[in-house]
Amino acid sequence: MKKILIMAMAVLGFATQTFAGENVNLHFNKGYAADVQLTAADVNMFHITTSHGWAFGNGLYLGGGAGFGAEWFGKVSESDVHYVPSLFVNARWSMLNAKVSPFVDVKATQYIDLTAGKPNYGLTPAVGLDMGRASLSVGYSLRGERSAMQIGFGLYF
């Protein structure tokens, strides 16, 4: 029994030293950070985006990225689909250095509707939860003619 207890304490001590200094929340690690996010607004707007930037080590992240989306106006037919690439700047603050942490996110975006051939600008504030390398968010996409509540799912790498 003593040998098992000594072995367990040694493994626990080794694990504690191995992971000392590492943060539980990835936004609390200083350096390059990136994510991929899938968002849906209404039932007929879907976007996939990727953001790349710098995490300052205190939960604050600043970056930029690009995305591509599809939006359906009216009936779901090929003539009603609008393809929308986007470029954006992104600011995010993850509040806690914990496995599950609330966050606030805002994206300032330029959309280009390829179908209609016109640019559009937008702002998307969101709140959500970071859960390890994944996140869930709820936000509001504010832009020109198409403003709507949206939900998102993201993965960090």
Residue 24, burial from CB neighbour count under 10 angstroms (0-12, 13-18, 19+): middle
Task: Report the pLDDT value the prediction gives residue 114, as an integer from 0 to 100.
Answer: 84
Task: Report the pLDDT value the prediction gives residue 77, as an integer from 0 to 100.
Answer: 56
Q: Is the torsion defined by CA of 63, 136, 58, 124 positive or negative? A: positive
**CA–CA distance from 21 to each of 15, 16, 57, 90, 144 (Å)?**
12, 10, 12, 27, 46
Which of 89, 72, 86, 50 shows the shortest CA–CA distance to 146? Answer: 72
For domain 25-156, give the CATH number.
2.40.160.20
Query: Helix (H) and strand (E) counts for the chain?
Result: 1, 8
142 pLDDT higher than 50: yes
Average pLDDT of span 48-53:
97
Q: What are 93-136's pLDDT values in tens digits?
A: 999 999 899 999 999 999 888 877 778 899 999 999 999 899 99
Dist. CA 67–CA 115, nearest whole Å:
16
Percent of the residues in the chain that have a pLDDT greater than 70, as a whole number: 81
Cβ atoms of 143 and 119 closer than 8 Å: no
Q: What are 72-101's pLDDT values in tens digits?
A: 876 655 567 888 899 999 999 999 999 899
Task: Report the pLDDT value the prediction gives residue 53, as an integer from 0 to 100.
Answer: 97
30 pLDDT higher than 80: yes
Tokens of 93: 């603050």
Least confident of 18-27, 60-69, 86-95: 18-27
Task: Report the pLDDT value the prediction gives residue 108, as an integer from 0 to 100.
Answer: 96
Q: What is the pTM of this model?
A: 0.79
- Radius of gyration from C-alpha coordinates of the chain: 20
Domain ranges of the chain: 25-156
Dist. CA 98–CA 58, nearest whole Å:
12
Dist. CA 105–CA 93, nearest whole Å:
7
Backbone angles phi, psi at 78, to 5 degrees: -60, -35
Position with higher pLDDT, 74 vs 157? 157
